[in-house]
Structure 1
Amino acid sequence: MADALKSALIVGAGSGLSASLARRFAREGLHVVVAARHPDRLAALCGETGAEAVACDATQPAQVAALFHALPAGAPDIVVYNAASRTRGPFVELDADGVAQTLASCAFAGFLVGQAAARRMLTRGRGVILFTGASASVKGYAQSAPFAMGKFALRGLAQSMARELAPQGIHVAHVVIDGGIRSAARPERVDPPDQPDSMLDPDAVAETYWQLATQPRSAWAWEIELRPWVERF
């Protein structure tokens, strides 16, 4: 399976998990395209991995269509949807526009990217589509209703796609990230001496994505949960 994978598209790319995914895919010799609203911020990553950065607001149907139209024929073999936004606050005080934006980023954009990817992959009878979920995909937290709504919807989308598309050769999977991902932007949560690795290592998460992408089709997983060893279920 791994030998058949030649290209990957990461939508919602940034300096965290997406960067680790780009490095992991590039290490396997894949041509990587990273799509983001501000692709100029990905210059260092592209220089390191040879990835190609393109501008795309995944909540906009025309921009998603243009993104896939610009890809070479036969690409991509792997699509990762990694974009999201979050609106917090007491439920009765939530701003409707902010809620709509969170739903658009977490769920509607995932639908647009998933549909465009599936249309391409169906013509070849193979491909991998991976969605990044969160703790909020399976449990709603107080003052975080919009994020829970969006992530629950994304999980339902992935499950429905997996059941429909797996018999047609397309592996769809949803990854529940149940815990904080270690990054330079989150220095406030350093590993305490008695609990090393208390945050998810983005490179370790990226390794799991690669393992999902290369699973034999006789034993495909549609969902997997990842959490550090100290995270409570």
Structure 2
Amino acid sequence: MTEAVEQGQERTRLAWIAGVGASAGLGAALARRFAREGFSVAVTGRSRERLDVIVEEIRRAGGHAVALPGDVTREADLTEIARQLADTGTLEVAIFNAAGATRAPTLELSAEQFEAAWRVTTLGGFLFARAALQPLLAAGRGSLLFTGATASLRGRPPFAAFASAKAGLRSLTQSLAREFGPKNIHVAHVVVDGGIDGERLRTSSPQRVAERGEDGLLNPADIADAYWYLHRQARSAWSQEIDLRPFNESF
């Protein structure tokens, strides 16, 4: 983010998105959506190479973005990123989109796998919230948004680790909303109930993509629109949780 200072920019509106990977993914779509609205977007993920691709896409479209790689399970990484953001702008939006998508039958699921899912999804959400809340509270307003899943509401095999971690994250967001909503921080949880039409699903389950048909999967750009809507909600009518699913998804 130091390059913003080098370019002589004044303090700007910042959006920080953690859990950014493939260009054809939800994290990247969120970055593009907020950049289009004039935010300077900081993208965080473990792959610097992937982050650089997204940053270049945003810049080519006329927006401003910077790659700030880090591991959401490492408190020091998130603290340092938050410090860099505070040096160059006012954080208005923080989005946690990371998840440990462990999948295995319960009797084949190791304790290490179970803990890893919890560390990325639940502990990571807590550490990200703590890092983001300091600048949000200093600004006196802002949005703290979290990505949930079907598993946030319903556990089933072979997703014991993923479901427990996502349910924990959902509970965390409720606690945060009750604590920081009265301090003008909008905390909301988005239940993404269905497959996302992105790189991960198209690579791992092309047959499922074909079977779902047109608009049978969630378009990342359409999901991102919902996050923008949450950020823009008047505080007299805040949503703490919304759910999104394709028109033909059973629930």
Equivalent runs, 1:193-212 vs 2, <5 Å: 195-212=213-230
| Greater alpha carbon shift after TM alignment, 146-155 vs 46-55 | 46-55
Which of residues 163, 170, 177 in structure 1 aligns to 2:178?
A: 163
Which ranges of structure 2 fall in alignment gaps of 5 or more residues? 1-11, 60-64
Provide the rounded CA distance (Å) in 2 between the counterparts of 1:57 and 1:75.
Answer: 22
Deviation at 1:192, TM superposition (A): 4.8
| Further displaced range: 102-111 or 117-126 | 117-126
Task: Measure, in 2, the Cα distance between the counterparts of 1:121 and 1:186.
Answer: 34
Query: What aligned pairs does 1:49-128 form with structure 2 within 5 A after superposition?
Result: 49-50=58-59, 51-73=65-87, 74-128=89-143
Instruction: For structure 1, list consecutive stretches of 5 or more residues without a partner in the other structure.
Output: none
SS at match of 2:201: coil
User: RMSD between aligned alpha carbons?
Assistant: 1.5
What is the total number of aligned residue pairs between the two structures?
228
Q: Is the 8 A contact 2:44 2:51 kept in 1?
A: no
Please give the TM-score of this superposition, normalised by the length of structure 1.
0.93
Q: Secondary structure at the match of 1:143?
A: coil
Instruction: Give the whole-Å Cα distance in 2 for the aligned partners of 1:210 and 1:9.
Output: 13
Q: Which has the higher helix share?
A: 2
Give secondary structure in 2 for the equivalent of 1:72: helix
Residue 22 (1) aligns with residue 31 (2): yes
Matched-pair contact (CA < 8 Å) for 2:35–2:41: yes
Distance 2:201 2:76 in 1: 34
Answer whether contact 1:172 1:222 (CA < 8 A) is retained. yes
Give the drift of 1:168. Answer: 0.5
Question: Equivalent pairs: percent with the same residue?
Answer: 44
CA contact (8 A) 1:191 1:199 kept: no
CA deviation vs aligned residue, 1:99-136 (integer Å, no higher than 9, x gap): 11100001001000011111221122201000000000
2:68 match: secondary structure: strand
SS at match of 1:10: strand
Aligned partner letter, 1:108:
L
Match of 1:6 in 2: 13
Q: Which amino acid aligns with 1:14?
A: G
Q: Which amino acid aligns with 1:172?
A: V
